[in-house]
Chain A
Amino acid sequence: MSVEAAARLPVRRRMRANYQTVRQVLARINRYPVIPAAIMTVMVVAAVFAPYVAPKDPLLGSLRDREIPPMWLEGGRSEFILGTDPIGRDILSRIVYGAQISLVIVITVTAVGGTVGTALGIIAGWYGGNADEIIMRLVDFTLAVPFILVALVTVIVFGQSFAIVVTLMAVFSWNGFARQVRAEALGIKTTDYVAVAKVAGASGYRIMVRHILPGVINTVLVVASLRVGSLILTEAILSFLGAGIPKPTPAWGVMVADGRDYLGTSWWIAFFPGLAIFLLVLASNFLGDWLRDRLDPRLRQLA
Chain B
Amino acid sequence: MRLNALLVLALSGALAVALACGGGDEPTPTAAAKAQPTSPPQPTATQIVIPTVAPLVPTATPEPAKPTPAPTATPPPAPVGPMGTLNVAIPLITPANFLASKIPWPGNLNLVAFGVGEGLLQTDYAAPPLIGPLNKNGIASDWTVATDLSKITFKIRKGVKFHRGYGELTAQDVAFSFNEAIKPGSTWARVEMGDFLAQAEAVDAETLDYKFKKWSGTWYGWMYPVTGAAPMVSKKAHDELGFDKAVLTPVFTGPFEVVEWKANDKVDLKAVAPHWRATPKVERVKIVEIPEVSARLAAFKTGEVAITQLPNKFLKDAVTTTKGRIQMIGQPASKHVAFAGNYWMKQHHDTGENIFPRPGLKPDAAHPWIGDPDNADRMESARLVRQAMAMAIDRDLINKETQDGFASASHTWYGFVPQMKEFKKEWMIPYDPAQAKQMLAKAGYPNGFKVPFYLPPDVPAVVSVEVGEAIALMWKAIGLDVTIENTAYQARRPTMVSRSIDVVWMWQRDAVGQVDIAQSQGTIPSAGWNRGMEIPWVVDLWKKAEKENDPAKRVSISIEGEDLSRHWMVVAPVVDISNLWVVGPQVKEWRPYTETAGYAGTFETVVLGK
Find out whether A and B make contact in their complex, taking CB atoms under 8 A apart as touching.
yes
* A residues in contact (CB < 8 Å) with B: 59-64, 66, 86-89, 155-156, 159-160, 242, 246-248, 260-265
In the complex where A63-B398, A261-B311 touch, is A160 in contact with B292 (Cβ < 8 A)?
no
Please tell me if the beta carbons of B487 and A260 are within 8 angstroms of each other in the complex: no
Please tell me if the beta carbons of B401 and A263 are within 8 angstroms of each other in the complex: no
In the complex where A63-B397, A63-B470, A248-B482 touch, is A159 in contact with B487 (Cβ < 8 A)?
yes
List A contacts of B402 (CB < 8 A): 63, 66, 86-87
Please tell me if the beta carbons of B298 and A248 are within 8 angstroms of each other in the complex: no
In the complex where A60-B473, A264-B298 touch, is A66 in contact with B483 (Cβ < 8 A)?
no
List B contacts of A261 (CB < 8 A): 292-294, 311
List A contacts of B345 (CB < 8 A): none
* B residues in contact (CB < 8 Å) with A: 292-294, 297-298, 301, 311, 314, 317, 394, 397-398, 400-402, 457, 466, 469-470, 472-473, 476-477, 482-488, 491
Partner of A59, one of B398, B476, B485, B488: B476
List A contacts of B482 (CB < 8 A): 248
Partner of B473, one of A87, A160, A263, A265: A87
List B contacts of A66 (CB < 8 A): 401-402
- Number of A-B residue pairs having CB atoms within 8 Å of each other in the complex: 69
Please tell me if the beta carbons of B294 and A263 are within 8 angstroms of each other in the complex: yes
Please tell me if the beta carbons of B486 and A247 are within 8 angstroms of each other in the complex: yes
List A contacts of B484 (CB < 8 A): 246-248
Give bound CA distance, A246 to B451, whole Å: 13
In the complex where A262-B294, A264-B297 touch, is A242 in contact with B486 (Cβ < 8 A)?
yes
**Closest B residue, CB atoms, query A59:** B476
Give bound CA distance, A87 to B394, whole Å: 13
- Show 29 residue pairs from A and B whose CB-CB distance is below 8 angstroms, ordered by the A residue: A60-B476, A62-B473, A63-B394, A63-B400, A63-B402, A63-B470, A63-B473, A64-B397, A66-B401, A86-B466, A86-B469, A87-B466, A87-B469, A156-B491, A159-B485, A159-B487, A160-B487, A246-B483, A246-B484, A247-B484, A248-B483, A260-B292, A260-B294, A261-B292, A261-B294, A261-B311, A263-B294, A263-B298, A264-B317
Give bound CA distance, A262 to B314, whole Å: 9
List B contacts of A160 (CB < 8 A): 485-487
Given A242-B486, A247-B484, A264-B294, 11 new contacts (CB under 8 A): A61-B473, A62-B473, A63-B470, A66-B401, A66-B402, A86-B402, A86-B466, A160-B486, A246-B483, A247-B486, A261-B292
Instruction: Provide the main secondary structure of the chain B interface.
Output: helix
Please tell me if the beta carbons of B486 and A246 are within 8 angstroms of each other in the complex: yes
In the complex where A60-B476, A60-B477 touch, is A260 in contact with B293 (Cβ < 8 A)?
yes
Give bound CA distance, A78 to B446, whole Å: 35
**Closest B residue, CB atoms, query A153:** B491
List A contacts of B487 (CB < 8 A): 155-156, 159-160
List A contacts of B473 (CB < 8 A): 60-63, 87-89
List B contacts of A155 (CB < 8 A): 487
> In whole Å, how far is A164's beta carbon from the nearest beta carbon of chain B?
12
Give bound CA distance, A172 to B401, whole Å: 43
**Closest B residue, CB atoms, query A89:** B473
Give bound CA distance, A88 to B484, whole Å: 17
Give bound CA distance, A212 to B471, whole Å: 57
> In whole Å, how far is A262's beta carbon from the nearest beta carbon of chain B?
7
Give bound CA distance, A66 to B483, whole Å: 21
Please tell me if the beta carbons of B483 and A247 are within 8 angstroms of each other in the complex: yes
Give bound CA distance, A46 to B314, whole Å: 35
Give bound CA distance, A88 to B470, whole Å: 9
List B contacts of A60 (CB < 8 A): 473, 476-477
Counting from the closest, the 9 A-B pairs by CB-CB distance are A247-B484, A63-B401, A263-B294, A261-B293, A156-B491, A87-B470, A63-B397, A242-B486, A87-B469
> In whole Å, how far is A241's beta carbon from the nearest beta carbon of chain B?
10
List B contacts of A263 (CB < 8 A): 294, 298
In the complex where A63-B397, A260-B292 touch, is A246 in contact with B470 (Cβ < 8 A)?
no
In the complex where A64-B401, A156-B491, A159-B487 touch, is A247 in contact with B469 (Cβ < 8 A)?
yes
**Closest A residue, CB atoms, query B482:** A248
List A contacts of B401 (CB < 8 A): 63-64, 66
Give bound CA distance, A248 to B455, whole Å: 12
List B contacts of A260 (CB < 8 A): 292-294
List B contacts of A265 (CB < 8 A): 314, 317
> In whole Å, how far is A88's beta carbon from the nearest beta carbon of chain B?
7
List A contacts of B469 (CB < 8 A): 86-87, 247-248
Give bound CA distance, A86 to B473, whole Å: 12
> In whole Å, how far is A257's beta carbon from the nearest beta carbon of chain B?
9
> In whole Å, how far is B479's beta carbon from the nearest beta carbon of chain A?
12
List B contacts of A247 (CB < 8 A): 469, 483-484, 486
List A contacts of B292 (CB < 8 A): 260-261
> In whole Å, how far is A90's beta carbon from the nearest beta carbon of chain B?
13
Give bound CA distance, A262 to B298, whole Å: 11
> In whole Å, how far is A27's beta carbon from the nearest beta carbon of chain B?
45
